[in-house]
Amino acid sequence: MKNHLLSALTLISFFILPANRGSGSLQEDSNSSIVVPLPPSEATIHGAPRFEKGDPDLIDNWRSRSDWIRWTPKFPKPGIYKVIMEYSVATAPSKVEVAVGEQGLHANLEFTDTWKNFCTHYLGEVQIQKAGTIPVRLSSIENTGLWIMNLRMIRFIRTDAQVLEDPPQRAIHPAL
């Protein structure tokens, strides 16, 4: 029940908040939430992944665990940010890590039936200690199929300024 409620809230947050795909600029919704989008067009891609048929809003051809994607977004305020990712997986599900500075979130990607059927997945929360530019890295940590995923967007959503006592620590990649 809890997972279904989180999924529903994630979908509501994702589709109600302004998308502004491709700009990566700071966004605020009418409830004063801060949204920091990480569109594929602002990513640095390491390895085989590429923009799907020249589309800067979609990364595909991700096959190897040695491939990874990096952004350097500016977080305007400290606080707790929810991390939401929109992706598709049409082969065996994979496991990825979103590393934000020294914090890391792991996600088991759900099978979406086709490469064109995208889902929105709530990954968890990260604590941003102070405003500024913080590197974000998306990498595969487990792959059981031929492909890892297609990526459409990652978003960080700040809704309050509370502080986590023990923010999640990165487990896999020691350096960004």
Task: Please list, in sequence order, all residues whose beta carbon lies within 8 angstroms of the beta carbon of residue 4, skipping any fewer than 6 positions away.
Answer: none
Question: pLDDT tens-digit profile of 118-139?
Answer: 999 999 999 999 999 999 999 9
Report the pLDDT value the prediction gives residue 162, as an integer from 0 to 100. Answer: 54
Closest CA to 124 of 92, 167, 162: 167
Report the pLDDT value the prediction gives residue 1, as an integer from 0 to 100. Answer: 46
**What's the rounded Cα separation, in Å, for the pair 35 and 132?**
14
Q: Is residue 176 part of a domain?
A: no
**What's the rounded Cα separation, in Å, for the pair 135 and 72?**
5
- How many separate domains does the chain show? 1
Report the pLDDT value the prediction gives residue 62, as an integer from 0 to 100. Answer: 83
> Given phi > 0 = left and psi -120 to 50 = alpha, else beta, which region is 54?
left
CATH number at residue 36: 2.60.120.260
- All residue ranges of the chain with pLDDT < 50 are 1-30, 164, 169-176
- For the full predicted model, state whether its pTM sits above 0.75: no
Q: Is residue 7 part of a domain?
A: yes
Q: Is residue 169 part of a domain?
A: no
Q: Is residue 165 part of a domain?
A: no
Report the pLDDT value the prediction gives residue 72, as an integer from 0 to 100. Answer: 97
Q: Is residue 156 part of a domain?
A: yes
Report the pLDDT value the prediction gives residue 154, as an integer from 0 to 100. Answer: 96
